[in-house]
């Protein structure tokens, strides 16, 4: 087997006294399409920069196979010093590169090669950076949030291009559908260390949840082992005669292990504060029409949004999605037609640019409006520090300015401010920007529990599929400025536009199973209580036997002098270790049951 194109081994890096990377690893082989995933702040971008040779770690090894070419797409690309987009894209190329291919890439990405690369929008800058990364057809592509600011058509083009590219890929993205469609391996950066899964991102979330559940079981098992050792040292026969120094040492070791056990980062706690319900009709447009500089943005749109509807608005950049929302909510007056609002509307808006956040304002003042340390959340008073903690902000961050926050932290702060306001209509413009996967999950759960109406603008196809009940998109084939509403999420809309029916969710769902009635006895059975009382002695006996067998097998002369005894002792050691594991598991299960019955 050929050696990897790129290898990172035992990478260590510390920022501000805390280890960001603590033995992280990554190997990239020919044909790999790797999803690099992890919480915001876990070090994904830093690890990718180390892979690109742009950041020097405190320790570890980086090996790039000789002759391997690499391109890195950063989150914030710079085109300073280039006169044209063409010059920026072709920088670093040589005469052997396929310049015709480069021209096709710029054309596919809708770029004007002669345009100066100044004053570009976020989406335009991202497309220029992508063209520059793809241009030389490198052996390795390292892509940090390649879909940021891209519209859906370009994202789908990029998916197709990367699936057919010869380059090995390492991708960081918060776009679940993009990762699912492109990747074949997953590397999870968690608490400074990496775990690898030989499956694409589609299998990651189940694997992550199983890993966390196993860690919780292991932690609980360790807790119960400590309880058992403390019980044995206090009440055991040997303990009453003389303190067992070895068992005391083992107990201290267990306590030390428990103290240093690293738990997963806490989860965001998120819920939307709700006002009194609105009337049945929320927003209705009749012949809504609006143009910019004679370019139709909305043409003769008539739709009705009722209480509890979840409307997704999707479309390419520049289609007028945000303008349409402003027309619906009365922030912009239509040039013709009308917008009718229902009764008792309480609107809360999360804007795409997070304009409600002021750079120099402290986080605590941002959530309280500068009115002390208390924030009203759904009409209830809460301390701002406690509320910020729900969104994973550390106590010391509460007094920091907004300017010190990362993109993901800004997204969480904007959500904290918006969701604290009582509402019955939520207007969310690109709420998923820069949010990590776990925070997206919690936001979905909060919106699922929200009883009001949601109007959602998003490029995140998976998020749209999970949240909305209908999708509003531009239909240029029917005329400029024309929009149409399709039932279902983004994928349903695509199927309908392709001439296929939307999935009938009702037909997909089976009748709910009858609730399972659980009965439990008021106490352990006699047999269970006897086992709980006697298992500690059984475990102690097995531990002593294992220790004796290990000591016997450690004699190097045993195998030569007594091969039969060596074989028997080895066999018994394996069996005793299995019996010990089973006895420990049985004792822990009975302890858990006893605790549950006592609660």
Cα separation, 168 vs 32, in Å, equals 5
* In a domain? residue 48: yes
* In a domain? residue 276: no
Cβ-proximal residues to 207 (8 Å cutoff; 6+ apart), any chain: 186, 188, 197, 199
Q: Predicted confidence band at 68 (pLDDT cuts at 50, 70, 90)? A: very high
Q: What is the mean pLDDT of the chain?
A: 84
- If asked whether residues 185 and 211 sit together in one domain, one would say no
Q: At residue 267, does pLDDT exceed 80?
A: no
Q: Where does a domain end: 199, 219, 246?
A: 199
Name the pairing type of β-strands 59-64 and 374-377.
unpaired
Question: Whole-angstrom distance between the N-terminal and C-terminal Cα of the chain?
Answer: 57
pLDDT at 506: 38
Q: Predicted confidence band at 151 (pLDDT cuts at 50, 70, 90)? A: confident
Give the percent of the chain with pLDDT over 70: 86
User: What is the domain-level CATH number for residue 595?
Assistant: 1.10.287.380
Q: Predicted confidence band at 464 (pLDDT cuts at 50, 70, 90)? A: very high
Most confident of 370-374, 493-497, 570-574: 493-497
Q: Is 296 annotated as a binding residue?
A: no
Which range marks the domain in which residue 44 is found? 6-199
pLDDT at 82: 92
* In a domain? residue 528: yes
pLDDT at 275: 77
* In a domain? residue 515: no
The mean pLDDT value for 334-362 works out to 85
Q: Predicted confidence band at 505 (pLDDT cuts at 50, 70, 90)? A: very low
* In a domain? residue 365: yes
The mean pLDDT value for 233-251 works out to 53
Q: Where does a domain end: 199, 224, 242?
A: 199
Summarised one tens digit per residue, pLDDT across range 533-570 is 788 888 888 888 988 988 888 887 887 888 888 888 88
Cα separation, 45 vs 170, in Å, equals 11
The mean pLDDT value for 348-356 works out to 72
Range of lowest pLDDT (273-277, 333-337, 545-549)? 273-277
Three-state DSSP class for residue 497: helix
* In a domain? residue 271: no
Summarised one tens digit per residue, pLDDT across range 125-150 is 999 999 999 999 999 999 999 998 88
pLDDT at 290: 95
Q: Is 491 annotated as a binding residue?
A: no
CA atoms within a 13 Å half-sphere pointing along the CA-CB vector of 139: 14
The mean pLDDT value for 32-44 works out to 90
Q: At residue 254, does pLDDT exceed 70?
A: no
Summarised one tens digit per residue, pLDDT across range 69-93 is 999 999 888 898 899 999 999 988 8
pLDDT at 50: 97
pLDDT at 352: 66
CB 435 within 8 A of CB 458: no
- If asked whether residues 431 and 551 sit together in one domain, one would say no
Q: At residue 519, does pLDDT exceed 90?
A: no
Q: Is 321 annotated as a binding residue?
A: yes
Per the structure, the count of domains in the chain is 4
pLDDT at 261: 53
Cα separation, 120 vs 237, in Å, equals 78
Cβ-proximal residues to 163 (8 Å cutoff; 6+ apart), any chain: 33, 181, 182
Q: Is 470 annotated as a binding residue?
A: no
Q: Is 41 annotated as a binding residue?
A: yes
- If asked whether residues 332 and 413 sit together in one domain, one would say yes
**What φ, ψ does residue 516 adopt, rounded to 5°?**
-85, 125
Q: Is 458 annotated as a binding residue?
A: no
Cross-strand partners of 521: none
Q: Is 318 annotated as a binding residue?
A: yes
User: What is the domain-level CATH number for residue 65?
Assistant: 3.40.50.300
Q: Is 319 annotated as a binding residue?
A: yes
- If asked whether residues 479 and 559 sit together in one domain, one would say no
- If asked whether residues 165 and 65 sit together in one domain, one would say yes
Q: Is 379 annotated as a binding residue?
A: no
pLDDT at 127: 93
pLDDT at 245: 56
Q: At residue 370, does pLDDT exceed 80?
A: yes
* In a domain? residue 496: yes
pLDDT at 513: 36
Give the percent of the chain with pLDDT over 90: 43
- If asked whether residues 315 and 224 sit together in one domain, one would say no
- If asked whether residues 248 and 372 sit together in one domain, one would say no
Q: Is 43 annotated as a binding residue?
A: yes
- If asked whether residues 566 and 442 sit together in one domain, one would say no
* In a domain? residue 516: no
Cβ neighbours of 61 (radius 10 Å) = 11
Q: Predicted confidence band at 350 (pLDDT cuts at 50, 70, 90)? A: confident
CB 188 within 8 A of CB 199: no
The mean pLDDT value for 510-531 works out to 53
Q: Is 44 annotated as a binding residue?
A: yes
Cβ-proximal residues to 474 (8 Å cutoff; 6+ apart), any chain: 315, 316, 319, 320, 481, 482, 483
- If asked whether residues 328 and 416 sit together in one domain, one would say yes
Q: Where does a domain end: 199, 232, 255?
A: 199
pLDDT at 511: 38
- If asked whether residues 475 and 406 sit together in one domain, one would say yes
- If asked whether residues 97 and 194 sit together in one domain, one would say yes
Q: Is 39 annotated as a binding residue?
A: yes
- If asked whether residues 52 and 101 sit together in one domain, one would say yes
∠532-549-590 over CA atoms, to 5°?
A: 10
């Amino acid at each position: 087997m050929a050696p990897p194109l790129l290898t990172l081994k035992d990478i260590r890096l510390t920022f501000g006294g805390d280890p960001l990377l603590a033995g992280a690893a990554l190997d990239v082989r020919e044909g790999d399409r790797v999803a690099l995933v992890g919480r915001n702040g876990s070090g994904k971008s830093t690890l990718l920069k180390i892979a690109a040779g742009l950041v020097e770690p405190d320790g570890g090894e980086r090996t790039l196979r000789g002759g391997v070419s690499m391109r890195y797409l950063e989150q914030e690309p710079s085109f300073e010093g280039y006169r044209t987009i063409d010059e920026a894209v072709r920088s670093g190329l040589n005469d052997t590169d396929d310049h015709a291919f480069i021209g096709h890439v710029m054309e596919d990405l809708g770029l004007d090669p002669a345009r100066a690369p100044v004053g570009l929008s976020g989406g335009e800058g991202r497309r220029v950076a992508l063209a520059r990364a793809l241009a030389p057809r490198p052996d390795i592509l390292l892509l940090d949030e390649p879909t940021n600011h891209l519209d859906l058509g370009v994202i789908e083009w990029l998916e197709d291009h990367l699936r057919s590219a010869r380059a090995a890929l390492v991708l960081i993205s918060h776009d679940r559908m993009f990762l699912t469609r492109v990747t074949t391996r997953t590397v999870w950066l968690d608490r400074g260390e990496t775990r690898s899964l030989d499956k694409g991102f589609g299998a990651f979330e189940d694997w992550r949840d199983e890993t966390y559940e196993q860690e919780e079981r292991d932690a609980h098992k360790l807790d119960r082992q400590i309880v058992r050792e403390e019980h044995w040292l206090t009440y055991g026969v040997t303990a009453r005669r003389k303190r067992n120094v070895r068992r005391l040492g083992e107990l201290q070791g267990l306590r030390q292990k428990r103290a240093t056990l690293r738990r997963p980062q806490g989860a965001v706690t998120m819920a939307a504060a709700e006002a009194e319900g609105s009337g049945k009709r929320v927003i209705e447009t009749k012949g809504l029409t609006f143009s910019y500089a004679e370019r139709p943005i909305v043409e003769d749109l008539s739709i009705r949004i009722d209480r509890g509807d979840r409307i997704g608005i999707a479309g390419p950049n520049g289609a007028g999605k945000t303008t349409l929302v402003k027309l619906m909510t009365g922030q912009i007056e239509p040039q013709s037609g009308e917008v009718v609002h229902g009764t008792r509307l309480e609107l809360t808006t999360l804007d795409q640019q997070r304009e409600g956040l002021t750079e120099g304002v402290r986080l605590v003042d941002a959530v309280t409006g500068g009115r002390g340390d208390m924030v009203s959340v759904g009409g209830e008073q809460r301390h701002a520090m406690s509320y910020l903690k729900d969104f994973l902000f550390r106590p010391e961050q509460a007094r920091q300015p907004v300017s010190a926050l990362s993109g993901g932290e800004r997204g969480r702060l904007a959500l904290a401010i918006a969701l604290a306001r009582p509402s019955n209509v939520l207007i969310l413009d690109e709420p998923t920007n820069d949010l990590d996967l776990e925070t997206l999950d919690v936001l979905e759960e909060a919106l699922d529990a929200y009883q009001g109406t949601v109007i959602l603008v998003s490029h995140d196809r998976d998020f749209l599929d999970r949240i909305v009940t209908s999708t509003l998109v531009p239909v240029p084939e029917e005329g400029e400025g024309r929009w149409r509403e399709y039932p279902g999420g983004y994928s349903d809309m695509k199927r309908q536009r392709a001439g296929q029916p939307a999935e009938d969710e009702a037909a997909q769902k089976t009748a709910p199973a009858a609730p399972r009635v659980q009965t439990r006895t008021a106490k352990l059975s006699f047999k269970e209580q006897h086992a709980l009382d006697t298992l500690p002695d059984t475990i102690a006996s097995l531990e002593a036997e294992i220790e004796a067998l290990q000591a016997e097998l450690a004699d190097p002369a045993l195998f030569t002098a007594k091969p039969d005894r060596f074989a028997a002792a080895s066999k018994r050691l394996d069996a005793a270790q299995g019996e010990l594991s089973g006895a420990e598991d049985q004792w822990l299960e009975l302890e858990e049951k006893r605790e549950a019955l006592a609660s």
